[in-house]
Structure 1
Amino acid sequence: MGEHEKLIEDMSEKLGFTPEILKTLGELDPEFLHKYKRCNHKLLSDGALPAKVKIMIALAVVASKQCERCTVVQMQSALKNGATKEEIMEVMDVIFITSGAPAVAACRDALKLLK
């Protein structure tokens, strides 16, 4: 197993799935994958805020940018890290209040993961 495959495996274990972008980044530029892992580690590790809370913040941010695929990835990560349906629905309230209906619509596929 190559270095970038090991990095991807480590990150995938934390996320609970393997985003395709990680495979592509690893093939194109293993050094960038190292940078990505360091940033991802900050998001997925408890600090002053629990990882679950940081991931739900990330969910709200990517929804505000109307990145549908990103909302699915963050939702998967939030659920893997212990977020409840009730917590996610409160995040949806925040998304609606701060970013409106288009941002909520960007979560269409992500919300299906709650069923």
Structure 2
Amino acid sequence: MSEYKELEHKELLNSMSDKLSFTPRILEIVGDIDSKFLKKYNLCNHKLLSDGALPAKTKILMALAVVASKQCERCTVVQMQSAINNGATKEEIMEAMDVIFITSGAPAVAACRDALKQLK
């Protein structure tokens, strides 16, 4: 990787980390493999983590529901951390859990098992 691309790669990761308050390891790996993918991901990430017609916190809670419905345990941990870091309260997250259960059932809630440990 050229010095310029490596610097750009690190700046993108730092930017995303600042918004999430942590760096998901998968982003480091994917960025090392394909920096173009990291740029695309950053565009989507910016849309999710920016206030618009919906506040970022609401969009993140929606994302939490979607990844839980897909039963991606690691994804739920990442979205839960992001929700907390973007000001979601325990009560808001638990209400989102109600929606997840109603719309996707117990397997989706089970996918949140490790993520929910962060609320203790």
Interval containing the TM-score (normalised by the shorter chain): over 0.9
Query: Of 55, 73, 95, which aligns to 2:78?
Result: 73
- Structure 2: how far apart are the matches of 1:55 and 1:24? 23
> Where in structure 2 are there 5+ consecutive unaligned residues?
1-5
Q: What TM-score do you get using the length of structure 2 for normalisation?
A: 0.94
Match of 1:87 in 2: 92
- Structure 1: how far apart are the matches of 2:108 and 2:54? 24
Structure 1 residue 114: deviation in Å? 0.4
SS at match of 2:54: coil
Structural mapping, 1:15-94, within 5 Å: 15-94=20-99
Residue type of the alignment partner of 2:41: Y
Match of 1:5 in 2: 10
Max Rg structure: 2
Q: What TM-score do you get using the length of structure 1 for normalisation?
A: 0.98
Q: Which runs of 4+ in 1 moved over 3 A?
A: none
Structure 1 residue 27: deviation in Å? 0.7
- Structure 2: how far apart are the matches of 1:40 and 1:13? 12
Aligned residues: 115
- Structure 2: how far apart are the matches of 1:97 and 1:103? 10
